[in-house]
Amino acid sequence: MPQEWLRESGGDTIIDIDAIPGARRTEVLGIEPWRGRLKVAVTAQPHGGAANLALLEALAEWIGLKRSELSIESGHSSRRKSVRVSGVRPEAIEGLLEGR
């Protein structure tokens, strides 16, 4: 059963994310228990959309998709974002964390 940070939406999956711009490394850190969001660190600074682009690229690589298959649904200027992943079921993304 999918977690609260994942939800299905019209054949796609929405991932609730807590982004950390300006980090030392770009990586998917796991679930942030207090907020119940997927925590993702990126080295890019949040200027001119650089951190958003780096976030989408990191998630696409982690999931194994093209960057064009992901988009930010909400939170463009916030650390708390919702990202749409096209054509992927929530269970597939949840399984990526279980394999860590």
Residue 1 maps to a domain:
no
CB atoms within 10 A of CB 22: 12
Using an 8 Å Cβ cutoff, are 85 and 70 in contact? yes
pLDDT at 82: 97
pTM for the structure as a whole: 0.91
Q: What is the arithmetic mean of pLDDT over 25-36?
A: 92
Residue 84 maps to a domain:
yes
CATH number at residue 46: 3.30.1200.10
Residue 19 maps to a domain:
yes
Domain count, the chain: 1
* 98, pLDDT greater than 80: no
* Confidence tier at 76 by pLDDT (50, 70, 90): very high
- Which residue range forms the structural domain that includes residue 88? 6-98
* 44, pLDDT greater than 50: yes
39: three-class secondary structure by DSSP: strand
Residue 45 maps to a domain:
yes
* 2, pLDDT greater than 60: no
